[in-house]
Amino acid sequence: MKTGINKDQAISNLMDLLAEDGPSGGEGPAADAVKQKLLAAGCKPQWMRHAGLKRLPAGFTVGNLIVKIPGTVKAPRIMFSAHLDTVPLCRGAVPVKIGNRIVPKGKTGLGGDNRASVAAVVTMTQTILKNDLPHPPITLLFTVGEENGLHGAKAFEPSDGGNPVMCFNLDGSGERGGVIGALGAIRWKATVRGKSVHAAVNPEGGVSSAIIAANAIAWLKANGWFGRINKGSCKGTANVGTLQGGEADNQVMDNLLVTGECRSHNPASLKKFSNVWKKAFEKAAHELKNNKGECGSVDFITASDYRSFRLKTGEPVVKRFLKAAPLAGRKAYTEVISAGLDANILNEKGIPTITFDAGNHHAHDLNEYVDIPRYLEACTLATVLASET
C-alpha cells in the first residue's frame, strides 16, 4: 500500500498553518487556510461545513470545521480530530526552520500546539486522495476553543460528524504513546459573605470574609487537601485560582469570591474533594463570629468541566492504533495522562477516542518547537490509520 507521504508538502503545510492566526474564539483564518488546502487536494466544497456556533459561548467567530470524506470501501466511518486554536502567547508567531526543528522567530510561542496536528491531518487527507488509497468514510473534525475549555468538542454533536465509530485525536506536547485515559476536572466557586462594619470604629462587630477564606484554605493545606492530594485511593490535585473581594480599606470585607479547581482520574475522588472543600469553607464561616455571636456564610457551587475516561486495551480504536504505530516508525504503547483533552469530551459523547502527538514540544512556552521527524511520523501514522480497511 502506498502510504508514503510527500515530505516537502507535509513541511510546507506545517509552516503555512503555523503562520496563521487563530486564538481561541478567533479560529477563522486558520480554518480558511485548512479549507483552501483541502479543496486543492480534491475535497469537494459540499463535504465541508462549520457547525455548532450556536452551542458555543458568546464571542466565538466560527464553529467547528467538519469535513466528511466519502469512503471508497464499505466500512464504518472513522474520525480524525485536531483543535485549531492556539494560546494567546502564540499571537503573531513567525515559524522558522532550524535543522530538524521549527521554532518561533521572535519572543512568542510557536502554535505547534496544535497546528502540527492540524497539518498532519491535512497531509493525511492529501495523501489518501492523491494516492487513491482505499479508505472508509472519514470525518475530519477541526475543533475551536480547546485551550480555553474544550468548547468546540462540547459543541460537537456526533450526528454532525456522521456518527463515526471511533476517533483519532491529534494533540499534546512531548512524545507520548496512544493516550487511552485522562483525568477529569471540576471547577468550583465559593461566594463568602461576612459582615461589613467600619474597620477602625467597630472592628469587633465585623465578620471578615477574608478571614473565613484564609482559615478554610489554611486548614485544607494543613490537612493535605490542597495541591497534590494523595490519600490512599483518593488521588488528584486541588487549587485556588482567583480571589476577588472587598470594597474599601476601612471596611471589614463582607464579600469575597474564591474560585478554583480539582482534578482526578477517579470520579469518586473528585466528588470527595469537592465535598471536603465545601465543608471546610462552611465550617470556617460558621466558626468565625463577631461580638454579637453572628457569623458569615458560604455558597459553594461546583460545575463539572469534563469527566475522566479510560479506554480498554481491547477496544477497536486502541487495537487499530497499536497495529498502525510500528508501520509509522513509532513504538506501540498506550498511556494515561494528567490533563484534559478534546478526547475527554468525545469519549463522554460515546465516540471511543485515542490521542497521539504530532511532534510538538513545550506547548504554551516561549521555547515551543516542532520536531520535524516526529511530525512526519504523525503524518504517516494518520495515513496508515485512515487507509487501513
Query: Given the rule CB under 5 A, which residues bind Zn ion?
Result: 113-114, 171
Q: Closer to Zn ion at the Cβ: 126 or 143?
A: 143
Closest approach, Cβ 111 to Zn ion, in A, equals 10
Closest approach, Cβ 83 to Zn ion, in A, equals 6
Q: Which of 128, 99, 61, 91 is nearest to 366 (CA)?
A: 91
Give the CA distances from residue 266 to residues 185, 235, 243, 306, 338, in Å, rounded to whole numbers and listed in that order.
10, 8, 27, 12, 11
DSSP characters over 241-286:
EEEEE-S-TTB---EEEEEEEEEES-HHHHHHHHHHHHHHHHHHHH
Closest approach, Cβ 386 to Zn ion, in A, equals 21
In angstroms, the CA 142 to CA 346 distance is 13
Give 3-state DSSP helix, strand, coil % of the chain, rounded to 5.
35, 30, 35
Closest approach, Cβ 269 to Zn ion, in A, equals 25
Residue 204 DSSP label: G
Q: Closer to Zn ion at the Cβ: 260 or 340?
A: 340
Q: Is the peptide bond before 239 cis (omega within 30 degrees of 0)?
A: no
In angstroms, the CA 107 to CA 110 distance is 9
Closest approach, Cβ 88 to Zn ion, in A, equals 14
3-state secondary structure of 53: helix
Q: Closer to Zn ion at the Cβ: 103 or 190?
A: 103
In angstroms, the CA 337 to CA 180 distance is 8
User: CA 44: distance to chain centroid?
Assistant: 30
Closest approach, Cβ 227 to Zn ion, in A, equals 24
In angstroms, the CA 349 to CA 60 distance is 22
Q: Closer to Zn ion at the Cβ: 111 or 194?
A: 111
Q: Closer to Zn ion at the Cβ: 14 or 197?
A: 14
Q: Closer to Zn ion at the Cβ: 87 or 386?
A: 87
Q: Closer to Zn ion at the Cβ: 311 or 337?
A: 337
Q: What is the phi/psi pair of residue 268, to 5°?
A: -65, -40
Closest approach, Cβ 153 to Zn ion, in A, equals 11
Q: Which of 124, 132, 173 is nearest to 377 (CA)?
A: 124
Closest approach, Cβ 179 to Zn ion, in A, equals 12
Q: Which of 375, 327, 377, 297 is nearest to 97 (CA)?
A: 375
Closest approach, Cβ 146 to Zn ion, in A, equals 6
User: CA 331: distance to chain centroid?
Assistant: 24
Q: Which residues are registered as beta bridge partners of 234?
A: 231
Q: Closer to Zn ion at the Cβ: 302 or 355?
A: 355
Helices (H) and strands (E) counted in the chain, each on its own, are 9, 18
Q: Closer to Zn ion at the Cβ: 248 or 339?
A: 339
Q: Closer to Zn ion at the Cβ: 70 or 174?
A: 174
Closest approach, Cβ 363 to Zn ion, in A, equals 6
